[in-house]
Structure formats: C-alpha cells, structure tokens
Amino acid sequence: MAIYRFRVTFEDYEDIYRDIDMPSKSTFLELHQEIHKSTGYPVDASSSFYVSNDQWKKGTEVALQPSARKINDGVLLMENIRLSKFIDDPHQKFYYIYNFDRPYDFHVELIKILKEEDGKEYPALFKVVGQAPRNLAAANFPVADTVDDDDDDIDVVAEEYGVDEEDDFDVVDDEESEEEESSQEFGGEDNY
C-alpha cells in the first residue's frame, strides 16, 4: 500500500509545520484527526479541505459538519472520501480551513509517496517543527490575553488595525476626566 507524506503548514506561520504519513486508503476525516492530534486543537470544529492548485486556489470542497445549504449543494463529506480520490499530482495541494468560527488556514501538500514499512503503524507523525499557536485566537483574529486597565491598550489596538487614534478615537486631554469617565463606564475602579 502507498503511504502519502503530507506537509501541513499554518498559512500565517510558515515556519510551523507537521509532516504526517497517511495510508492512501485513509479518508479526509482521518487526515483532519491526525492534524489535530499534532496541534492539540479539538477535532470537532466545522472544517473543510479544498482541492487546490499550485497557487492555493480553492477547488472542490470536502467538509466536516457542513451547513444545510452546503449539504443541499452536494458538498462531499470528509468521512466518505478517500485521500487517493483527489491525488492527481505527486505534489497535490489541499487548502484546509479549521474552525470556521475562528479560522486557522493551513496548506497541506503531498511531499512524498512512500511504500508501507512492515511493522510501522499508520497514520504516523513523521516530523514536528515549531509549536502550534494557541487555539484561543486564530491568526486572523487578534484577541487580548489579559484585561488591563491601562490606557496603552488604545495605542496597541490603533496600531494593530492601522487607525490613527487621534482621528478615530475621542481622546480626553485631561487625566482627571479620563479617570472619572473610566470609573463611570465600568462601574468603579474596584470591579476588576
């Protein structure tokens, strides 16, 4: 039996990847599960693989927990489709979106086709490079880790999203007015 070695790379973190060996008879659901064993993310989030070309353009969708609309449109289901059905190229690519609510995008590329080794269990994690980003916030959705009552947070948010705080935020010049406004808005300083 043929073994497919896939390199699974975070789209926004190209230096973090996993090489996973999958039997050719495996389903997309099994690949989905192996990806999440290697990242530590929960496997039960709605996700999809898309057959892709060399420019990572999305083609045919293979979904986990698709919406009713997608089911009516005839979307393929991960548990029903074998990987071998869509391996047309020795460097076949799949664009993979994990958790549509707070998505992580992955590039999944076939990097090698091997022969099955006697005594080795498959699927198998072949190589791990880098630590997977925390799944509290997807790469596309920055979320603050801690609540901080500093006024510095406005600067961080403004800088992160490319807005000029003086133009787009009401900035109070008087420090006492800021403290009073903050205290009223949050019901007092001691509520944290």
Same domain, 123 and 40: yes
Identify the pLDDT of residue 163.
45
- Say whether pLDDT at 148 is over 60: no
Residue 151 has pLDDT above 50, yes or no: no
**In a domain? residue 21:** yes
Q: Does 125 lie in the same domain as 162? A: no
Confidence category of residue 145, pLDDT binned at 50, 70, 90: very low
Q: Over the stretch 1-25, which tens digit does the pLDDT of each residue have?
A: 899 999 999 998 889 999 999 999 9
Average pLDDT (39-56) is 92
Calculate mean pLDDT across residues 156-182: 44
Residue 65, in any domain of the structure: yes
> What is residue 137's predicted lDDT score, i.e. its pLDDT?
47
pLDDT value at 50 more than 80: yes
**Bridge partner list, 18:** 8, 128
The reported pLDDT for the residue numbered 159 is: 42
- Give me the number of domains the chain comprises: 2
As beta bridge partners, residue 5 has 21, 112
On whether residue 115 sits in a domain, the answer given is yes
Query: What is the CATH classification number for the domain harbouring 58?
Result: 3.10.290.30
pLDDT of residue 133: 85
Same-domain check for residues 105 and 72: yes
Asked whether residue 138 is domain-assigned, the answer is: no
Which residue is it, tokens 């060399």? 54
* Residue at 182 is within a domain: yes
Helices and strands: H and E segment counts in the chain = 5, 8
Q: Quick check: pTM over 0.85?
A: no
Q: 64 in a domain, yes or no?
A: yes
Phi, psi torsion values for 172, nearest 5 degrees: -95, 125
Alpha carbon distance 111, 94 (integer Å): 12
Q: Does residue 124 share a domain with residue 175?
A: no
Question: Domain limits at 172?
Answer: 152-191
Residue 184: inside a domain, yes or no?
yes
- Range with the lowest mean pLDDT among 72-76, 95-99, 181-185? 181-185
